[in-house]
């Protein structure tokens, strides 16, 4: 009950926050006019097409309001918990502890109120973990087919899932190699994944280019600062918990009398996948803690098993561990309430409403980031005008070519047309450039109205030529 209360308190406030930049991409892609446009968008987005296809269909029925875009994530989260509770594991304690761990895993309560694919990844990852255990323990075409279906779905949701899926495939080839003759037809279910990767891979490779990557390689000293339980940096205690589980589980798997079962191999596959991603992050850019999400269900199963083992040996130690989990889950409630939510500072929504209120008729959208070079101008234009178009605005949008300049704000203002109604929406997530430029203050000068809607960094600045002041 405590876990449910903490999860609800962590989740519900996020449903009232404005859509932040990543969610704006979800809304934009969901508004694609037809299937070819949807596919074209998905080929220029880091995540795979399954989530966006679901959202495209969902929004055709329920619209693209903030709440409508976020409800599917909440549904995926609830379904993940339901799948665990319905799983007929012999050890009921492990099942309930696994569900509690997922409820208390802070990033899921955050992503549960976010229009992004991570709760769907959790749902697919949970199904993949359960089915893989049955595949290793029982074998057969039935379980091979089910594992292939779920695995293809999760790989087409986010490419990081390919890592744990590949590891599980290798484990199956080694452990159940005698079943290959009867289960090989299930391989055909991966054809859609291979076809999609053939077209999507160039974009994924470009995303890891150090010159335009959003995240740079990390230093090995930052591993303890990873904050596994919070999905961000700056919470080393929860990462120590993860590393303790890894050490405990490997020791138990090696020294256990019963040998490695499907359960052990499922958790070990997630451990190996996590180690591969973290090792790669030392030398390649574009790592963020949330990219570990496909491995989380199996990792949390390992933590639940460790807690069950502790309970069998010392109830007091188990109680202390349970209190620690509850504390970790409750630690960031303050950061999920009201203005403390970082999404307020990364949202174009308020700026767009201000532009609409000031009768913007033409818009130029500037995203001052090398990462913007990954997207086509028409895509950036759709993202920059999403909130305006959602409310029925039909004006033209231009996206000037990206220019790396120490004073890109001045260049943007120089290009602003003198005609009334011409506006600019400027985004800079690296530094608060708007606070350094005099015209970026909340001021009016010569009919030019500018307002900074960011929280220092990033700067989200809207300007419009108008005869009215707000």
Domain containing residue 162: 2-337
- Give the pLDDT of residue 42: 93
210 part of a folded domain: yes
Tell me, yes or no, whether 470 lies in a domain. Answer: no
Task: Say whether both 332 and 356 belong to one domain.
Answer: no
> Domain check: are 330 and 406 in the same one?
no
Q: Which residue has the tokens 């999760």?
A: 154
Contacts of 224 (CB under 8 A, 6+ apart): 236, 239, 240
**Inter-residue contact 160 to 287 (CB < 8 Å):** no
Considering the domain architecture, whether residues 182 and 267 belong to the same structural domain is answered as yes
Q: Which two tokens stand for residue 341?
A: 């939510």
Instruction: Kindly give, in sequence order, each residue whose CB lies less than 8 Å from that of residue 45, ignoring residues fewer than 6 positions away.
Output: 25, 29, 52, 203
Q: Choose the final residue of a domain: 337, 361, 387.
A: 337
Average pLDDT, the chain: 79
Question: How is residue 266 written in tokens?
Answer: 């499922």
Same structural domain, 294 and 268: yes
Contact 341, 20 (CB under 8 A): no
314, 392: one domain: no
Predicted local distance difference test score (pLDDT) of residue 446 = 54
Q: How confident is the model at residue 190 (pLDDT cuts 50, 70, 90)?
A: very high
- pLDDT greater at residue 232 or residue 92: 92
Give the per-residue pLDDT at 444: 47
Task: Please state the rounded mean pLDDT for residues 55-77.
Answer: 94
213 and 359 together in one domain: no
Q: pLDDT at position 27, please?
A: 96
Residue that finishes a domain, picked among 308, 337, 366:
337
Q: What pLDDT does residue 50 have?
A: 97
Asked whether residue 114 is domain-assigned, the answer is: yes
Q: pLDDT tens digits, residue range 309-323?
A: 766 666 666 666 666
Q: Give the residue-averaged pLDDT of 21-50.
A: 93
For 443, list phi and psi in degrees, rounded to 5: -145, 170
Asked whether residue 35 falls in the same domain as residue 70, the answer is: yes
Q: Per-residue pLDDT averaged across 348-362, rounded?
A: 91
Count Cβ atoms below 10 Å from residue 320 Cβ, excluding itself: 11
Q: Structurally, how many domains does the chain consist of?
A: 2
Question: Reduced to 3 DSSP states, what percent helix, strand and coil does the chain have, rounded to the nearest 5?
Answer: 65, 5, 30
Q: Do 117 and 73 have their domain in common?
A: yes
Q: Does residue 93 register a pLDDT over 50? A: yes
pLDDT for position 212 = 61
Q: What pTM did the predictor assign?
A: 0.86
Please compute the mean of the pLDDT values over residues 446-451 and round it to a whole number. Answer: 74
Count of CB atoms situated within 10 Å of the CB of 364:
21
Looking at residues 152-178, what average pLDDT do you find? 93
- Render 84-143 in DSSP notation, one character per residue: HHH---S-HHHHHHHHHHHHH-HHHHHHTTSSSSHHHHHHHHHHHHHHHHHHHHH-SHHH
230 domain-assigned: yes
- DSSP codes joined into one string, 411-467: HHHHTS-SSTTEEEEEEESSS-GGGTSGGGSSEEETTEEEEE-SSSSSEEEEEEE-S
Is the pLDDT confidence value at 434 over 50? no
Eight-class DSSP state of 190:
G
| CA nearest neighbour of 173 among 147, 211, 200 | 147
In a domain, 343, yes or no: no
From the list 378, 365, 347, 363, the residue with the least C-alpha distance to 422 is 363
Kindly provide the b/e burial profile for residues 281-305, where b requires at least 16 CB atoms within 10 angstroms of the residue's own CB.
beebbbbebbbbbbbbbbbbbbbbb
Strand 459-465 with 422-428, pairing: antiparallel
Pairwise CA distance, residues 189 & 29, whole Å: 26
Give the model's pLDDT for residue 406. 56
Instruction: Specify burial of residue 201 (Cβ count, 10 A radius: 0-12, 13-18, 19+).
Output: exposed
Whether residue 293 sits in one domain with residue 178: yes
Local confidence band at 386 (pLDDT 50, 70, 90 cut-offs): very high
Mean pLDDT of 44-72: 94
Residue 26 domain-assigned (yes or no): yes
Range with lowest mean pLDDT among 63-72, 188-197, 286-295: 286-295
Sign of the CA dihedral with 201 first, then 202, 207, and 208 last: positive
- 285 with 150, same domain: the answer is yes
Distance CA 383, CA 41 (A): 11
In a domain, 342, yes or no: no
Residue-wise pLDDT tens digits, 218-249: 666 666 556 554 444 345 555 666 666 677 66
Are 267 and 171 within one domain? yes
Q: Does the residue 14 lie in any domain?
A: yes
Of 311, 337, 363, at which residue does a domain stop? 337
Main-chain dihedrals φ then ψ at residue 191, nearest 5 degrees: -60, -45
Are 383 and 309 contained in the same domain? no
């Amino acid at each position: 009950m405590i876990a449910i209360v903490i999860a609800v308190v962590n989740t519900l406030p996020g449903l009232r926050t404005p859509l932040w930049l990543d969610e704006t991409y979800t809304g934009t892609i969901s508004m694609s006019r037809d299937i070819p446009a949807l596919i074209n968008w998905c080929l220029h987005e880091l995540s795979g097409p399954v989530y966006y296809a679901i959202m495209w269909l969902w929004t055709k029925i329920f619209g693209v309001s903030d709440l409508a875009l976020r409800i599917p994530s909440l549904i995926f989260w609830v379904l993940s918990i339901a799948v665990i509770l319905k799983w007929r594991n012999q050890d009921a304690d492990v099942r309930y502890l696994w569900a509690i761990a997922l409820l208390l895993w802070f990033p899921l309560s955050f992503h549960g109120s976010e229009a992004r694919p991570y709760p769907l990844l959790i749902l697919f990852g949970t199904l993949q973990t359960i089915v893989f255990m049955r595949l290793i323990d029982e074998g057969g075409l039935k379980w091979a087919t089910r594992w292939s279906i779920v695995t293809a779905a999760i790989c087409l949701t986010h490419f990081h899932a390919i890592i744990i899926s590949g590891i599980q495939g290798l484990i199956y080839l080694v452990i159940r190699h005698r079943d290959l003759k009867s289960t090989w037809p299930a391989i055909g279910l991966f054809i859609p994944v291979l076809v999609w990767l053939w077209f999507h891979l160039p974009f994924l490779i470009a995303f890891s280019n150090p010159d335009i990557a959003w995240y740079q390689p990390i230093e090995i000293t930052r591993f303890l600062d990873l904050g596994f339980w919070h999905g961000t940096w700056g919470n080393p205690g929860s990462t120590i918990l993860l590393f303790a589980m890894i050490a405990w589980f490997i020791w138990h798997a090696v020294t256990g009398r019963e040998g490695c079962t499907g359960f052990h191999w499922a958790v070990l596959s997630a451990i190996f996948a996590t180690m591969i991603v973290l090792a790669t992050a030392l030398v390649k850019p574009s790592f963020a803690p949330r990219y570990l999400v496909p491995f989380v269900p199996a990792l949390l199963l390992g933590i639940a098993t460790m807690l069950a083992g502790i309970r069998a040996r010392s109830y007091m130690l188990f109680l202390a561990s349970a209190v620690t989990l509850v504390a970790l889950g409750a630690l960031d409630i303050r950061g999920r309430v009201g203005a403390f939510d970082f999404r307020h500072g990364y949202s174009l929504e308020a700026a767009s409403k201000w532009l609409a209120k000031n009768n913007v008729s033409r818009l130029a959208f500037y995203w001052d980031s090398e990462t913007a070079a990954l997207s086509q101008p028409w895509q950036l234009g759709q993202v920059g005008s999403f909130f305006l178009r959602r409310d029925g605005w039909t004006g033209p949008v231009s996206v000037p070519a990206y220019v790396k300049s120490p004073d890109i704000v001045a260049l943007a203002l120089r290009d602003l047309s003198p005609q009334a109604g011409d506006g600019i929406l400027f985004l800079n997530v690296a530094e608060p450039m708007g606070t350094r430029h005099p015209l970026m203050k909340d001021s009016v000068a010569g009919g030019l109205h500018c307002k900074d809607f960011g929280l220092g960094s990033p700067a989200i600045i809207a300007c419009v030529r108008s005869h009215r002041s707000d």
